[in-house]
Amino acid sequence: MSTPATIPCLLYFAALFLTVATLWILLYPNEGSSPQDFFVFIVVVMPFVMLVYFGLAVIICDNIGLARGWSTALPLQIFSRAEGLAAAVTYIGLTVWLWLRWRKLRIRQRGIPR
């Protein structure tokens, strides 16, 4: 029997995995693009992808919670500390990961020795 914390954790890890996979696929055609393109990718594309996948995870988690009689996740509190901290850590971690990947691809494209 699963606990009320098991299913949301698995759903949020799945959302994180799907976010990373989607960003990896979307970054591939833009290998070594300009810094302006990378900035737009970080500011526009990444938050949109996170919103879609994590929003779906919250909705699915809420429906599972309703079916099992657990407390629901919706409606979300706008400035909840736990969710805000998790979103900030995820966003910063993904930004650093994408920047390191983009930088490595840009160096490889230019042929700059390390």
pLDDT-derived band of residue 93, with 50, 70 and 90 as boundaries?
very high
58-to-75, 102, 104, 110 alpha-carbon distances in Å: 10, 30, 34, 42
Percent of the chain predicted with pLDDT > 90 = 14
Residue 61 · residue 7 · CB < 8 Å: yes
Residue 59 · residue 66 · CB < 8 Å: no
Domain ranges of the chain: 6-110
pLDDT-derived band of residue 4, with 50, 70 and 90 as boundaries?
low
Write down the mean pLDDT value for the chain. Answer: 80
- Identify the three-state secondary structure at position 76: coil
The 10s digit of each residue's pLDDT in 24-68 is 888 776 666 778 888 888 899 899 999 999 888 888 887 887 887
Question: What is the C-alpha separation between 1 and 13, in angstroms, rounded?
Answer: 20
Q: What is the DSSP letter of 99?
A: H
